[in-house]
């Protein structure tokens, strides 16, 4: 989906940018004129994606605080600063199916370490650099599963609910730094990370939407570009569901 939003001159880091929704965000931001760094644990895939779109690639393991610090240092060194951060990196596959009674503690802890703690630490690492410029932006990627309470996915749902709450708290604390913090709650989107989702869950989404069709990455990228742009300088602390009307705020 094309966009007229301009990110000319913006330096933006997108975590989880090697493939799927993160890659779509990166490609859209490049098309909008931004300098982009993508960070991912998938180094070979990420480097290839970065080369193809003319972006910088930096390795990142969101479960390791030291990796987050090294990633941020590498990004700032290569881009010369930072104007925006998209926290898209997360564990989303291999964790659906078990009921709340069957989730392994190790799985729960891993999801929280990556999806919640990783988002916090990456944002924390970005703040000094975002505050050094004008109107820094953080866009956290949540999920509408946290709004409607998807069953048999509780670790992921809980982590994305935390992202929504963290966004609001971050916005209160970082407003005095001139940093806007918002989140997007996509619906079930056709990307690699959702290939495992059972067909009945996919149909549940399609049939429950006001716009009854599959959701594609391009349905979400325009919202991300807006929140990263100067047009959203006074928008902060908001969670925008982008899901074709499956859930509504």
Q: Which of 25, 57, 156, 246 is catalytic?
A: 156
Does the model's pTM come out above 0.85? yes
Q: Does 202 fall in a domain?
A: yes
Q: Does 217 fall in a domain?
A: yes
Q: Does 247 fall in a domain?
A: no
Q: What pLDDT is stored for residue 2 in this prediction?
A: 45
Q: What pLDDT is stored for residue 1 in this prediction?
A: 44
Q: What pLDDT is stored for residue 3 in this prediction?
A: 55
* Domains: count for the chain: 1
Q: What pLDDT is stored for residue 4 in this prediction?
A: 77
Question: Is 156 labeled as catalytic in the residue annotation?
Answer: yes
User: For the chain, how long is the longest CA-to-CA vector?
Assistant: 49
Token pair of 198, please? 């059972």
Q: What pLDDT is stored for residue 193 in this prediction?
A: 74
Rounded CA-CA distance 51/57 in Å is: 8
Q: What is the pLDDT along the chain (249 residues), one digit of tens a residue?
A: 445 799 999 999 999 999 999 999 999 999 999 999 999 999 999 999 999 999 999 999 999 999 999 999 999 999 999 999 999 999 998 899 999 999 999 999 999 999 999 999 999 999 999 999 899 999 999 999 999 999 999 999 999 999 999 999 999 999 999 999 999 999 998 887 777 777 888 899 899 999 999 999 999 999 999 999 999 999 999 999 999 999 887
Q: What pLDDT is stored for residue 196 in this prediction?
A: 75
Domain range spanning residue 20?
11-237
Q: Does 242 fall in a domain?
A: no
Residues 6 or more apart whose CB falls under 8 angstroms from that of 50 comprise 17, 38, 56, 57
Q: Does 231 fall in a domain?
A: yes
Rounded CA-CA distance 168/236 in Å is: 8
Q: Does 248 fall in a domain?
A: no
Residue 151: which CATH number? 3.40.50.720
């Amino acid at each position: 989906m094309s966009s007229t939003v301009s990110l000319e001159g913006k330096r933006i880091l997108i975590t989880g940018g090697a493939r799927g929704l993160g890659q779509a965000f990166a490609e859209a931001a490049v098309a909008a004129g931004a300098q982009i760094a993508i960070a991912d644990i998938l180094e070979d895939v990420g480097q290839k994606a970065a080369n193809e779109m003319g972006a910088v690639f930096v390795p990142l393991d969101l479960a390791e605080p030291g990796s987050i610090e090294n990633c941020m240092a590498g990004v700032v060194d290569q881009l010369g600063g930072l104007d925006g951060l998209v926290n898209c990196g997360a564990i989303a596959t291999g964790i659906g199916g078990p009921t709340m009674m069957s989730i392994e503690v190790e799985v729960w802890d891993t999801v929280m370490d990556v999806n919640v703690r990783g988002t916090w630490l990456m944002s924390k690492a970005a703040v000094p650099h975002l505050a050094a410029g004008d109107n820094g932006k953080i866009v956290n990627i949540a999920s509408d599963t946290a709004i409607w309470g998807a069953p048999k996915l509780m670790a992921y749902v809980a982590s994305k609910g935390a992202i929504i709450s963290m966004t609001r708290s971050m916005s209160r604390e970082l407003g005095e730094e001139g940093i806007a913090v918002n989140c997007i709650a996509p619906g079930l989107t056709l990307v690699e990370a959702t290939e495992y989702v059972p067909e009945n869950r996919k149909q549940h989404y399609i049939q429950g939407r006001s716009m009854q069709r599959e959701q594609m990455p391009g349905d979400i990228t325009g919202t991300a570009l807006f929140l990263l742009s100067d047009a959203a300088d006074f928008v902060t602390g908001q969670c925008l569901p982008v899901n074709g009307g499956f859930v509504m705020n």
